[in-house]
Chain A
């Protein structure tokens, strides 16, 4: 528990040092619990009206879905990036990245107070949206830091690592279009 509190505080105020410490001895189970907690935040925070049993059933299903989606996304993201990192000869650090990327999600807990702020009128609502965007940016920065720390890459290489899947997707899309247009040309003839 003490270690977790240190990591929690450290991640908010000195993320580099905290990621270094977590890298040395990655607490994967704590990461797993963080992912579970963050995953159920969204359905709980979007829980606006309570109309009895139907709402409870709907909420339970939403939480179950969010848990499943959150866990699968976490695992997919980690395994996928570990695979891409092999380009730089840095794969095989899945346990470290799973832990660090889970801890990088911690700022999402601030959505709790931000959501409460939304009940105070339109101006507070706009302010809350702005704060929500800041939290999102914070998480993105921490995830990038997690990649840098896990695979010991420079910032440039990390950006390349993140861009490669998009480029791959674009290439696949381009080839698919090319394939079908050629096919249509042949059929036309």
Chain B
């Protein structure tokens, strides 16, 4: 008899738990779905619900992925992929791009810039400058809806540079080495390090510099001067005259840049998060008060743990490379870089 009661209790408990699970699903349907989505996270620590995507760009901007088991998550290439993912990710309601970069190659800067412009059409993008967002770093930032910088941030350096070497004397006189060049046209070894640069070659390079510089200025005009958004978040006015006056390669502090209109507001991660949240709520109606800020190109949770381990085993950046000017790494190539 007792065994029958025990069997009944076991069956009853099992059925009851199934019933509770089912009723819970029916009674708390969409509300639970929406609210839980805010907090729930997957195994890799990426919340499944609405979020502000925090994308970090660190170091020189170039099409180059460096070491680490998971690759360099803060490289320009990784940032580009994250921005493209954010465009179609409906759970991303806004993007906060943290920039700490001296600039980099022209085409890569332009690709990131254009991707931000596309993203900006669908959701708000705010840039938060950290220590340095100069030249190509500023080029990218100018595509955002708003730019935040700390007073001591270094920015500006609007301009283009090509660095070439002339090692002819060193090779000939010190080492006794003679370079022999066979070429198909007179400019094929333009800016060759084995001989001095000629005046007509200098003109050619200057034309490239001028054209690229104009692209830089136009990009700032398109992304920043001609902004027409209605977000209720303070924006600074940058005129074309001011831009042309200060776009001479000079570096500016965040405070100076804000006064001149190159930066919208002074502030860091907290202020820029507040701003992008406000803009997201204006863009997407019905959002809750808090929209979590989530690392989007650097994994958190279990993925973050894996990433951290990979970083400690295999450092992603060669420390000595930071001592070498970027233009030496990319000789003969126009660069949006401050050095």
How distant is A34 from chain B, measured CB to nearest CB, in Å?
11
- 9-residue interface stretch from A40-48, A152-160, A170-178: A40-48
Number of interchain pairs (Cβ within 8 Å) = 54
Query: B11 — which chain A residues lie within 8 A by C-beta?
Result: 8, 109
Q: Is B22 interfacial (CB 8 A cutoff)?
A: yes
List B9-41 residues whose CB lies under 8 Å from chain A: 10-11, 13-15, 17-18, 20-22, 25-26, 29-30, 33
Query: A116 — which chain B residues lie within 8 A by C-beta?
Result: 17, 20-21
Query: B33 — which chain A residues lie within 8 A by C-beta?
Result: 49
Contact with A along B118-143 (1 / 0, CB 8 A): 00000000000000000000000000
User: CA–CA, A41 to B22, complex, Å?
Assistant: 11
B2 to A, closest residue via Cβ: A9
User: CA–CA, A45 to B43, complex, Å?
Assistant: 21
How distant is A138 from chain B, measured CB to nearest CB, in Å?
14
User: CA–CA, A38 to B63, complex, Å?
Assistant: 56
Contact with B along A67-78 (1 / 0, CB 8 A): 000000000000
Q: Is A127 interfacial (CB 8 A cutoff)?
A: no
User: CA–CA, A12 to B9, complex, Å?
Assistant: 13
Q: Is the CB of B14 within 8 A of A112?
A: yes
Query: B20 — which chain A residues lie within 8 A by C-beta?
Result: 116
Q: Is the CB of A109 within 8 A of B14?
A: yes
Q: Is B188 interfacial (CB 8 A cutoff)?
A: no
How distant is B44 from chain A, measured CB to nearest CB, in Å?
12
Interface of A is mostly: helix
Q: Is the CB of A45 within 8 A of B18?
A: yes
Query: A51 — which chain B residues lie within 8 A by C-beta?
Result: 29-30
Q: Is the CB of A45 within 8 A of B21?
A: yes
Q: Which of B8, B18, B26 is A112 in contact with, Cβ under 8 Å?
A: B18
Query: B30 — which chain A residues lie within 8 A by C-beta?
Result: 51
B33 to A, closest residue via Cβ: A49
List B29-60 residues whose CB lies under 8 Å from chain A: 29-30, 33, 43
Q: Which of B13, B21, B29 is A49 in contact with, Cβ under 8 Å?
A: B29
B8 to A, closest residue via Cβ: A5
Query: A112 — which chain B residues lie within 8 A by C-beta?
Result: 14-15, 17-18, 21
Query: B228 — which chain A residues lie within 8 A by C-beta?
Result: none
User: CA–CA, A51 to B8, complex, Å?
Assistant: 34
A50 and B18 contact, Cβ closer than 8 Å, known pairs A5-B4, A8-B7, A109-B11? no
Binding site for B on A (CB under 8 A): 2, 5-6, 8-10, 12, 41, 44-45, 47-51, 109-110, 112-113, 115-116, 122
Binding site for A on B (CB under 8 A): 3-4, 6-8, 10-11, 13-15, 17-18, 20-22, 25-26, 29-30, 33, 43
What are 17 A-B interface contacts by the 8 Å CB criterion? Answer: A5-B8, A10-B3, A12-B7, A12-B10, A44-B18, A45-B18, A45-B21, A49-B25, A50-B25, A50-B29, A51-B29, A109-B14, A112-B15, A112-B17, A112-B18, A113-B17, A116-B20
